[in-house]
Structure 1
Amino acid sequence: MKKAGVLMPVFSFPGKYGIGTLGKEAYSFIDVLRDTGNKIWQVLPMGPTGFGDSPYQSFSAFAGNPYFVDLEALIEEGLLTEEDLEDPEEFDFGDGEAIALLKTLWQKKAWEGDEKARNLLSTLNQGIDKYEEEDSPFKVNYGKIYVSKFKALKLAFENYKKQGGKIDKIYKELRPETVEYCVFMAIKNNYFGASWDVWPEDLRDCEKAAVEEFKAAHKDEIDFYAFIQYLFNKQWGKLHEYAKIKGIEIIGDIPIYCAPDSADVWAHRELFQYTVKGEPKKVAGVPPDAFSATGQLWGNPLYSWDVHKKTGYEWWLSRMDYCLEMYDTLRVDHFRGFEAYYAIPYGDETAENGEWVPGPGMDLFDAMTKHYGRKDLPIIAEDLGIITDEVKELMKKTGFPGMKILQFAWDSGPDNAYLPHSLTTPNCIYYTGTHDNDTLKNWFETLPDWIRNYMYMYMSRSHNDWNAMPELLIRLSMSTVADTVIVPAGDYLGLGAEGRINTPGTSGGNWQWRMSKGAFTDEIKRKMSEIVGVYGRYYHKEEAAPVEETTPEDESLLEEESF
């Protein structure tokens, strides 16, 4: 049966405390998918993010994002209180709530004659426009989230210990690579956030004696990060189980490369192309093309594939184990890098001097087939961009479905491979757009007239259909032969530029969009159901027994069996 799904980042859910989480709104979204006949929820990478807040640059390939831990669940478990988090002088999650509470608090004190409060109120009022611009329930303020979320989690951790929580048992639930991340973050914090390549030499080089000495001296900080991962795993596990009960499949997403400043590179430098002094030899990117005269310099460290091969691809198999425990299917970014990767000399300021170097090819996927005992691995290959015959051959050998993007279909005439009539196989995922595309509405409204006119002709429509175009384009996508069609949530909601998730090549303003509460109205859900149903993609699952529609009740963190 053909399928349909929705792309929705976790950080984009509405709710309290400044950012989307694994809490009630995530459960409600799964209900929306079930109620509208959608089968799939696609997420973005869910690792812990750093500078720039991109989910594609994570501190670890084996850890969850602390920002996604639901604080309301911790309140229900008695590890936090609402009063704790609603103190505006302690917590500001960047959603505008703290500013309003502070204003009320300082007004009251000013009326009582508090001169300091009067001065603070005056300062706040003078800068209120700036605060209102930065703070919104519809946009993540990562600077404030970083401060307040970790402060809240630290408070929960202290309460957990006071209530007799067993730290040692937490570690039994964590993978060794996740524990490496916990140590990495504790060292990083000890050196004020500095990247590992400028740490003291013995820690930089991950020397066992130095690391063990640090672990002994900073056990509590490492335990704190382990506690966060335990919470993340517990909350995600329950959410994933709820999705399974409702018949919803979750597609995860992993970048092919690790971030330079990551626990993966620090703890396993031998698996990457580094010098003994801790500098990359060459870094990742893509060559110059029609869109960029100097290419794209990503800067990620490259794998030492010969070393991976000697280990039987042990690290990659472990990474796949971790990801396939979290997700039902996995989208792998920049798949063409497995056939050949673009290597740029470290220190170059552009990607012009790079060269193509053979990757592991089918050897890696043969190792996965042997490891899992199956050839039909649940992998989606991101095969966008300029794809060579060699990459096409690798795709054919693996049998992985590729990706087709509606927004890429209209600028080169009827031979464009992304046009609906050009699809040659159902073994693909058709998207109206990805996280890197504009919303359908804003994209269509800002197209050159000649492209819009071609679209009208293609669909036998006219300028009179301007306002209906986002819906018509979704319908066109659903009508293709593709086995699966995925639509970003913002397209179903008819959002303009405010709903864009990321603009490649820009810094700031990305990964911030948050949906308004109740955005999926009954009318929108009715329309979604109709669209997926008309094109034979409506999924309905008969549930074996009644299931609570609300978030499953969490057990206490203090119960030993929960470990």
Structure 2
Amino acid sequence: MHGLPRSSGILLHPTSLPGPFGIGDLGPSAYRFVDFLVAAGQRLWQMLPLVPVGLGFSPYASPSTFAGNPLLISPERLVEAGLLQADDIASPPDFPEDRVDYDWVIVYKQHLLEKAYATFEAHPDRVDETDFWLFCEKQAFWLDDYALFMALKEAHGGAVWTEWPTELARRDPGALHHARQKLARSFRKHQFWQYLFHRQWMDLRAYCHAHGIRLMGDIPIYVAHDSADVWANPHLFHLDEHGHPTVVAGVPPDYFSETGQRWGNPLYRWEVSRETDHHWWTQRFAALLEKVDLIRLDHFRGFAAYWEIPAAEPTAVNGRWVPGPGAEFFETIQHKLGPLPLVAENLGVITPDVTELMERFGFPGMAVLQFAFDDDATSTFLPHNYIRNLVAYTGTHDNDTIVGWWRGQNKTTLPPEVVARAKAYARAYLDLDRKREREIHWTCIRTLMASVAELVVFPMQDVLGLGSEARMNTPGTTGPHNWSWRLRADQLRPDVAERLRSLTEIYGRLLPAS
């Protein structure tokens, strides 16, 4: 599978790493996590989009699909670079260890990042200036728009871009030139923060590769309306003359929701994208492939057909299916970039055209064990029905933890009789006695390890056997716990790594010594 032999890995977003600064970052704890992966015999580190967070602090609602999240910049590495003093980070606030309090963290981290930029202004020799300018030049195709978008957003009190003065919202060249001059410091600051993220990320990536660890990133199919992407490329989206979406994304009503899901993202004008040989999308894939080795392509079914909802509709009920760009899209991009190392997120109701599109390009799909027991023995999520070209998971960032799922700590959307049947089926399938039921997470990990799926991935919460309190996200909600779970340093224990390594070796997935 894309040069990755039979293997296993862990899903953990960098914001969830431990550390003293309220949020995981690209500093020492990231390197310690890589060491843990190596000790546990793992070959892959999967994460969520690395972009700045947006509405509800979600990485799937970002102001940019290209930018890195400045909150992931390591203060300790900034001290090493001479951009901060040791005293600046000596006494961080008493942040919670197991949660990201984003409101608090944003204030603290932005204060440090502002200080780092002020140091750079006063002492530009603290970084390799040539390297910085080369970065800005190479990334200008997105960085210039992003830096100006963020500078304008700050200047307008965080207002959505459609609420800015018309000449700025519509990108009048004269108005943009004047804004870039007037907001030159803020513009340069956002460029510089992106450079810091880039340098720290590439250093961590090199460390991963040196230790045999490959990285899996994530591309959401849709982007946020209030983003540099939509503001800078309005021709690619269904917008009215004021910049507001005319149709939006979502999924239709189903077994889980009578009204479906209205996500609200603007939809693409695929015919316009096709006229440009999907240039923006090609840039999007190429930019992420500089950072990671594999990409999970979110909501893959939308490339075959997608649910279009009129923007005025409050729910997803009154939508319609519209054909997606299909095979021509992937053929065009692969012609320019070569074979794409994609994993298709093919969860939900999948029709034959979606499967056909995946098979045509050899993209592996996903199987989630938690979904395996709501059906009968023919379920493709049951390990005995797996194929080799597959990535199997105990759960994803949108699922409860495996322990929480088993205990039923959270309310389920399934009828009680379905839950009871699923539990009985799971007990029989997983051969659970009382002891194994106490260690349901290890039973599920072992079951996937033994399967024929070339790649199996476990959320870190499942490796640790944590309950629903450690869930990363609950779709359709904007609660304070979404996206905020953090690992504690004392949870990366040698005995956990040893046990995972043992299963990895038994089932032929072990990372060879480098």
Coarse TM-score class (shorter-chain normalised): over 0.9
After TM superposition, the runs of 4+ consecutive aligned structure 1 residues lying more than 3 A away are 165-170, 447-450
Matches within 5 A, 1:138-537: 138-165=98-125, 166=129, 168=133, 171-372=136-337, 374=338, 376-423=339-386, 425-446=387-408, 448-508=419-479, 509-537=481-509
What is the SS of the residue equivalent to 1:252?
Answer: strand
Other structure's SS at 2:399 match: coil
> Aligned partners of 2:294, 2:164: CA distance in 1, in Å?
37
**8 Å contact kept, 2:54–2:60:** no
SS in 2 for 1:83: helix
User: The residue matched to 2:439 in structure 1 has which SS?
Assistant: helix
Matching residue within 15, 18, 28 for 1:14: 18
1:117 paired residue number: none
The aligned amino acid for 1:195 is V
1:116 alignment counterpart: none
SS of the equivalent of 2:340 reads coil
* 1:172-192 deviation digits (Å, cap 9, x = unpaired): 353321221111000001000
C-alpha separation in 1, matches of 2:86 and 2:295 = 37
Q: Distance in 2 between matches of 1:530 and 1:175?
A: 47
Answer yes or no: is 1:67 the counterpart of 2:27: no
CA contact (8 A) 2:39 2:498 kept: no
Aligned partners of 1:47 and 1:63 also within 8 Å: yes
Matched to 2:448, the amino acid is S
Q: Return the alpha-carbon distance in structure 1 between the equivalents of residues 162 and 513 of structure 2.
A: 51
SS in 1 for 2:158: coil
Identity %: 41
Q: What does residue 413 of structure 2 align with?
A: none
Instruction: Quote how far apart the aligned CAs of 1:252 are.
Output: 0.3
TM-score when scaled to structure 2? 0.94
Question: Aligned-pair distance for 1:406?
Answer: 0.4
Given residue 52 of structure 1, which amino acid in structure 2 is its aligned partner? G
Residues 400-453 of structure 1: CA deviation (Å, up to 9, x unaligned): 000000000012221222111122x21110001000111111111118444322
Could you tell me which amino acid in structure 2 is paired with residue 22 of structure 1?
A: L
**Residue 412 of structure 2 corresponds to which residue in structure 1?**
none
Report the Cα distance in structure 1 between the residues aligned to 2:210 and 2:89, rounded to whole angstroms.
33
TM-superposed deviation, 1:169: 5.4
Alignment CA distance shift 1:320-1:527 (3 Å): same
Q: Aligned equivalents of 1:418 and 1:60: distance in 2?
A: 33
CA distance in structure 2 between the partners assigned to 1:452 and 1:422 by the alignment: 19
Kept after mapping to 2: 8 A contact 1:456/1:463: no
Question: Matched residues in 2 for 1:146 and 1:250: separation?
Answer: 26
Partner amino acid for 1:144?
Answer: W
Q: CA deviation at 1:519?
A: 1.2
Which whole-Å CA distance do the structure 1 matches of 2:133 and 2:463 have between them? Answer: 46
> What code does the residue aligned with 2:16 have?
S
Paired residue for 1:129? none
Asked whether the equivalents of residues 430 and 444 of structure 2 are also in contact (C-alpha less than 8 Å), the reply is no
In 2, the alpha carbon distance for the partners of 1:408 and 1:333 equals: 18
Aligned partners of 1:55 and 1:73: how far apart in 2? Answer: 23
Q: Deviations over 1:500-527 (max 9, x none)?
A: 1111111121010110113121111110
209-218 or 447-456, which deviates more: 447-456
Q: What corresponds to 1:40 in structure 2?
A: 44
Contact 1:34/1:540 (8 A) holds in 2: no
Q: Matched residue of 1:52: which SS?
A: helix
- Between the aligned partners of 1:352 and 1:227, the Cα distance in structure 2 is 44
Q: After superposition, give the CA deviation of every residue in 1:3-52 in whole Å (9 maximum; x if it has no partner).
A: 10000110000012110001111111111111221110001001111221
Structure 1 residues 449 and 295, CA, compared in 2 at 3 Å: closer, same or farther? Answer: closer
Q: SS at 1:400's partner residue? A: coil
Give the 3-state SS of the residue equivalent to 1:326 in structure 2.
Answer: coil
- Residue type of the alignment partner of 2:497: K
AA in 1 matched with 2:355: K
**1:82 Cα deviation (Å)?**
3.1
Cα distance in 2 between the residues matched to 1:212 and 1:153: 26
SS of the aligned residue for 2:290 comes to helix
Contact 1:332 1:380 (8 Å CA) reproduced: yes
Q: Which runs of 5+ in 2 are unaligned?
A: 410-418
Tell me whether 39-48 or 72-81 shows the greater mean CA deviation.
72-81
Judging changes above 3 Å, is the alpha-carbon distance between structure 1 residues 480 and 214 closer, same or farther for their aligned structure 2 residues?
A: same
* Contact kept in structure 2, 1:48 and 1:63, CA below 8 Å: yes
Q: How far, CA to CA, are the matches of 1:520 and 1:219 in structure 2? A: 44
Aligned mates of 2:133, 2:143 — CA distance in 1? 15
Could you say what secondary structure the match of 1:342 adopts?
strand
Instruction: Indicate the larger mover: 60-69 or 515-524.
Output: 515-524
Contact 2:439 2:465 in 1 (8 A): no
* Contact 2:136–2:143 under 8 Å retained in 1: no
What is the distance in 2 between the residues matched to 1:475 and 1:465? 11
Normalising by structure 1, what TM-score?
0.86
Residue identity matched to 1:406: L
Provide the rounded CA distance (Å) in 1 between the counterparts of 2:500 and 2:30. Answer: 18
Specify the alignment match of 2:414 in structure 1: none
Structure 1 unmatched runs, 5+:
98-134, 543-563
Per-residue CA deviations over 1:215-241 (Å, capped at 9, x if unaligned) read: 001100000100100000000001001
Decide whether the 8 Å contact of 2:73 with 2:200 is kept in 1. Answer: yes
Query: For structure 1, which segment, 215-224 or 413-422, has the greater mean C-alpha deviation from structure 2 after superposition?
Result: 413-422
In 1, Cα distance between equivalents of 2:261 and 2:146:
28
Match of 1:172, SS state, is helix
Count of residues in Structure 1 that have an aligned counterpart in Structure 2: 495
Aligned to 1:115: none
